[in-house]
Amino acid sequence: MNLIIDQGNASSKVAIFREGRLEASFVYKQFDAGVVASLFEKYGFTRGILSSVIDIDPELVNYLEDNLSRFVWLDETVPVPVTIDYQTPQTLGKDRLAAIVGAHYLRPGCDLLVIDAGTAITYELVDKTGTFLGGNISPGMTTRFKALHAFTKKLPLLAETPDIPLMGKSTAEAIRAGVVNGIVYEMDGYIDALRKKYPGLLVFLTGGHSFYFERRLKNSIFADINLVLTGLNRILEYNVEI
C-alpha cells in the first residue's frame, strides 16, 4: 500500500493507493509526524512519497524513512517516467511535474496538454513520446480577484459565482465576468492553438478550480482533480521498478 503526500503552502493532501488505484484521500491544514503516525495505525503502508513546496519537517521525514521499506523524497534528482526537455528542471514545480507524469500514465502515446487551475494556472505540453516540451504559468482565478482589489483604490474584493454574464452590468459583474471569461478564453485559446500543431491533442484539467471551468470550456477535456496524486503514485512505483 502506498502513502502519497503532497504538501502545499496552505494545506497537505494525502492519498492512499492500493495496486495502482486511489483508495482514499484527505486534506489537512496542519500536517506532521503525529498525523502520519495515526494514518500508519489504520493503513499498512510499505512505500511512500513526499512532495513539498514548504520547508521539510525533519521529524516527519525521519518517521517516514524509519517506517517505510521504500521512501521517495521528490526533488529534481528523482528519476521519473517522462523525459524533461526544460532548461531549468530544478525550478520545475513538483506539482507541475506530477501532473505531467499523471497525464502521461493515464493516456500514454498521446499528445497532451495539462491545465492546472489553482493559485496559478499552469499549462504543460507533453508529446506522444512522453517528452515534456515546456509550459506556461499565469495567475489563477483567486489571484486575479485579489490583484484587482490590491492594486486599485476602489475595486472590491470578490469571488466567483455560479452564473457569469458575458458582459457585466455592474462593477461587481464586470469584475467577475472579466476574470472568469478571461480565463476561459485563455484556456480555450491555448487548446485551439496547440491543436493546430497537434490535431489529436488530449486535454487534462485539474486543480482546485477545475470543475468550475470544466463546463465553461468549449473544447472537450478530461477533468481529474486527483491528477497530481496519480502522478506522484506513478513516480513512486517507477522508482520501485528501476
Give the active site residues.
95
- CA-based nearest residue to 206, from 122, 97, 128: 122
Nearest-angstrom CA–CA distance, 5 and 183: 29
Phi/psi for 77 (5° steps) reads -90, -10
Question: 6, 48 in Cβ contact below 8 A?
Answer: no
Q: Which CA distances in Å does 179 have to 86, 100, 140, 213?
A: 30, 26, 9, 12
In angstroms, the Cα distances linking 228 to 15, 100, 102 are 10, 8, 6
**Closest C-alpha among 77, 35, 19 to residue 5:** 35
Residue with cell 475595486: 155
The CA distance from 179 to 181, in Å, is 6
Of 25, 18, 2, nearest to 72 by C-alpha is 2
Which set of grid coordinates corresponds to residue 27?
Answer: 486534506
**Nearest-angstrom CA–CA distance, 119 and 139:** 7
